[in-house]
Structure 1
Amino acid sequence: MANAPAVTIGLASNVGKYKMSLPVGQLLLRGFMSGVYIAVGAGLCTVCGTAAAQYLGAGIGKLIGGAVFPVGLIATVLTGMELFTGDAMLGPLAAFFGKTSWGSVLRNWFFVYIGNLIGSLAYAYLMVMGPFTQGNFATAEPNAFALNAVSIAVGKTLAYKSVGGIGLWSCFLNGIGCNFLVNLAILLGITAKDFIGKFFGIWFPIMTFVATGFEHCVANMYFLPAGLWVYQSFPGIATKMVDGKPWNPLLSKFGGLTWGDVWFWNIIPATLGNIVGGMIFIGLVYYLCYRNELPEEYRAGHQASPGATVGK
């Protein structure tokens, strides 16, 4: 069973109204939990994708990572937590329909972003100290999963840095593509009326964005610190050689990875792209499509509970 498109947009705008009214403590706490959930999917993607491309091909390797990553958004949506990238669409949609203020939208974004960052960092620390190293920092290098975490972080930062300004533009565009698909997943989750429908409505678009290689700022709050912390704990991997060649040419070329690389070459442009992808390419577009078709009970001034459709 599914809601009609106009009803879905009405429900989504009500969800946005509800989320923009949450107190700061709730935004931080729910943001923390969503940051953890997204990091859970990212960590699973790192582990399951390790060496997959080597044996199955690059495309299948991407598919495997994409297939397991959606657990994070599924958990976020179905438990009602707060994710910045989802609120980048739901908040503006509510504001376009006159159900909340733009000040409330910015307030939500600020505190949810902080909550997501803290949750992502906490889970990255757990993975580095746990599965990636088992706490053993006396060896020359960590296990294969940790090395893959470094490769992912390098690919999401130094690959853009290596081409200069156009790399920032590329990361920004990848952020747009990502949040276009993430918020499509959220709308499909709201459209569906049962668990199975919500599960697959969310799963397919998220699998698509991950397998395609788009950039999600909250997922990268896990991917990049996890890889950076592994590199900082085992700096010798920057000069590691395999068959007479650098194990990771970009890491070798730039002499390592820094927090500046993490923020400037990925998280900042990805965040801006995520905002545009969610607010403009989904929020504004669907507002323009259905602003004259919204059922009366979903128009501004009417009371409606977000109910079980609350999502990210």
Structure 2
Amino acid sequence: MVDDTLYITPHETALAVVATSMKKARLRLHILIVDSIMGGVLFSAGGMLYVMCEAEDAGLIDRGCRGIVSLFQGAVYALGLFFVIETGMDLFNSNVLFFTVGVLRGAVSVVDLVISWTVSFWINLASTIFVVYVICYLGGILKNPQYVEGTLRIAKRKIQATFMETFVRAIAGNFCVCLATYMQMMVKPPHVKFLMLFFPIFTFVAMGFTHVVADMFLVPCGIFNHCGYGFGRYFWKIMLPGALGSIVGGVFFSVMIPWLLHIVVIEQDMKKLNLPAYEEKDEQPMLNMDSRVVRVDHQSKDAARMSADRFDSGSLSGSEKEYEEKTTGLKTYTSATCGAAARARSVSASKVGVRRVIRSPKGVFPVAGMGPPLRKERTIASAYTGVGESGESGEKARDEDEDLENQDDKQDGDELVEDNPCDAEQCRMSTGLMRALTRVRTKARGDIENAVCGSPEGGVLKGKIR
């Protein structure tokens, strides 16, 4: 783990991607629409500068210096994505990253993925075309002769590529965009974020790869200036292969790097090496932005527990309790490593009418201030077992935790959630599949135990099985 709080590790970044998908899945539909509208508007800034370089540097193109113009265009296009990320808006291409990792982790559902991708894609398109026509065309900028010539060159260059060429270019383009989005999450200072996303965007634009949302600005500019084809051909020849390629490239990046290498592999090694568990929390749960994951040290946890003890014992004054409830919405940050004691306090607090601890989704990290976890979020397998929670004593402690959790749910009138004893070590992709495989494994272990119980070595074998 790194000590500098301005930077996080790749593993923490991958977990931040999961938390971001959970945030986006909780958005109400009208908020998602507004976010997507503003995402298309802000991302259009890169397209405007791209067209400006094409139009104003026509002399370089005529002299055969096309490469220099491409470098200029690559250097300015990152501004659009930077605006989107810093304001927390929704863009289709980056949502491919967030929701792919979220679904693989089990933090969000496939339905959440489909809704987010569909809404963000079409709303990005509508808002971008609005900017092209109202701001740039009716505003007179695209009617300038230099801009007319530049937009026509761009539109004709786009339509000359075959369906397969556009598809392959879109794979490479969104791989770079997801890389940029992922890398900027590793840092916190805004200027460093810009540098982290600048180089992947610079690469894909200068090389001429395809970005489906970028084409939503560039191609309509040429269509409004009568480039020789209309929106029907654009949808079939450019947008469709661009969207498919963006999904393939984004999913490939999401599966290989954040999920497989930075979550599954690292958590497997943590268990094999018996490394101590650590807690993490979302630093900005109240904002509609990429999650920034920070570590919770033992001193902070001890202070939180002391605060919880004071809360339960009634030593806090009325104003202090009111402040603590309003500012955090919970008494302490808990996870699977907190054990039965923290949940016992929550049960006792709920009995006397005090607001109980809001349990965080298992296997991710405590998400503070976001309200009670949803049903699907409470079924995520715990990845951090911690030291001293193996064997019969560990199973007994987990059983006690489950009983306390069920009692807490009954008192609040919540629907009981089926226990999920899944193990991230088995690398399963969905909670349902993980449950099914776990049941098969548990049944097989029970059959073996029953078979060996009658033998003299039964006790030893049973211990090994466990």
Verify same fold: TM over 0.5.
Answer: yes
Written as runs of structure 1 = structure 2, the 5 A alignment for 1:55-70 is 55=63, 57-70=65-78
TM-score by length of 2: 0.55
**Percent identity of paired positions between Structure 1 and Structure 2:** 27
Structure-to-structure mapping, 1:71-150, within 5 angstroms: 71-125=79-133, 126-133=135-142, 142-150=144-152
Q: 1:24 aligns with which of 10, 29, 32?
A: 29
Q: How does 1:241-256 map to 2 (within 5 A)?
A: 256=228
Residue of structure 2 equivalent to 1:154: 156
Aligned to 2:180: 185
Pick one of 10, 15, 36 that aligns with 1:10.
Answer: 15
Q: Which residue does 2:248 correspond to in 1? A: 276
Q: CA deviation at 1:56?
A: 6.8
TM-aligned CA distance change 1:271 to 1:306, over 3 Å: farther
Is contact 2:142–2:148 with CA below 8 Å preserved after alignment? yes
The residue type paired with residue 237 of structure 2 is W
CA RMSD for the aligned pairs?
2.0
Contact 1:40 1:123 (8 Å CA) reproduced: no
d(CA) in 2 for partners of 1:276 and 1:98? 20
Greater Cα offset, 49-58 or 10-19: 49-58
- Whole-angstrom CA distance in 1 between matches of 2:368 and 2:196: 22
Post-superposition shift, 1:153?
1.2
Cα shift readout 1:127-158 (whole Å, capped 9, x = no counterpart):
11224356xxxxxxx5111221121111112x
Q: Which residue of 1 aligns with 2:263?
A: 291
Aligned match of 2:171: 176
Matched, 1:34 2:43: no
Deviations 1:98-139 (A, max 9, x none): 1100110101111111220111111111211224356xxxxx
Q: Displacement of 1:75 after TM fit?
A: 0.2
- Separation in 2 of the partners of 1:26 and 1:193? 25
Structure 2 residues without counterparts, runs of 5 or longer: 1-5, 268-277, 282-361, 371-466
Which residue of 1 is the match for residue 208 of structure 2? 213
Give yes or no for contact 1:96–1:284 (8 Å, CA) kept in 2. no
Can you list the C-alpha shifts for 1:220-260, whole angstroms capped at 9, x where unaligned?
111111110111xxxxxxxxxxxxxxxxxxx6xxxx21222
The C-alpha deviation readout for 1:70-116, integer Å capped at 9, x for no partner, is 11100000000000000011111011111100110101111111220
Cα distance between partner residues in 1 of 2:22 and 2:63: 48
Kept after mapping to 1: 8 A contact 2:178/2:250: yes
Cα distance between partner residues in 2 of 1:107 and 1:40 = 26
The TM-score, its normalising length taken from structure 1, stands at 0.81
Alpha-carbon spacing, 1:182–1:306, altered in 2? closer, same or farther (3 Å) = farther
SS of the residue 1:69 aligns to: helix
What is the aligned partner in structure 2 of residue 257 from structure 1? 229
Distance in 2 (CA, whole Å) between partners of 1:11 and 1:37 is: 23
Task: Give yes or no for contact 1:39–1:222 (8 Å, CA) kept in 2.
Answer: yes
Q: Which stretch of the first structure deviates more once superposed, 39-48 or 74-83?
A: 39-48
Counterpart-to-counterpart distance in 2, 1:188 and 1:301? 20
Checking the alignment, whether the CA contact within 8 Å between 1:35 and 1:83 is kept in structure 2 is yes
Point out where structure 1 has 5 or more consecutive residues left out of the alignment: 135-141, 161-166, 232-250, 308-312
Report the secondary structure of 1:191's partner residue.
coil
- 1:206 maps to a residue whose letter is I
Distance 1:53 1:285 in 2: 38
Deviation at 1:63, TM superposition (A): 0.4
**What letter matches 2:249 in structure 1?**
G
Change in 2 beyond 3 A, CA 1:20/1:47: same
Kindly state the Cα deviation for residue 12 of structure 1 after the two structures are TM-superposed: 1.2
CA drift at 1:8: 0.8
Helix, strand or coil: the match of 2:90? coil
Q: CA deviation at 1:21?
A: 2.1
Q: Look up the match of 1:243.
A: none
What are the superposed Cα offsets for residues 29-64 of structure 1, whole Å, 9 maximum, x if unpaired? 111111111212101111123214334711111001
- 1:304 matches 2:304: no
Q: Relative contact order: is structure 1 or structure 2 higher (C-alpha 8 Å, sep ≥ 6)?
A: 1
**How far off its partner does 1:17 sit?**
1.6
d(CA) in 2 for partners of 1:287, 1:306: 26
- Alignment length, in residue pairs? 270
Q: What is the deviation of 1:65?
A: 0.8
* Larger helix proportion of the pair: 1
Structure 2 CA distance for partners of 1:199 and 1:305, relative to 1, 3 Å: farther
Cα distance in 1 between the residues matched to 2:120 and 2:215: 15
- 1:258 alignment partner AA: G
Q: In the TM superposition, what whole-angstrom CA distance separates every residue of 1:160-205 from its partner, at most 9, and x where no partner exists?
A: 2xxxxxx111101111000000010001110112112101011111
Which residue in the other structure is 1:240 paired with? none
Distance, in Å, in 1 between the alignment partners of 2:209 and 2:98 is 20
- Per the TM alignment, residue 303 of structure 1 is displaced from its structure 2 partner at its CA by 3.1
CA distance in 2, matches of 1:260, 1:156: 14
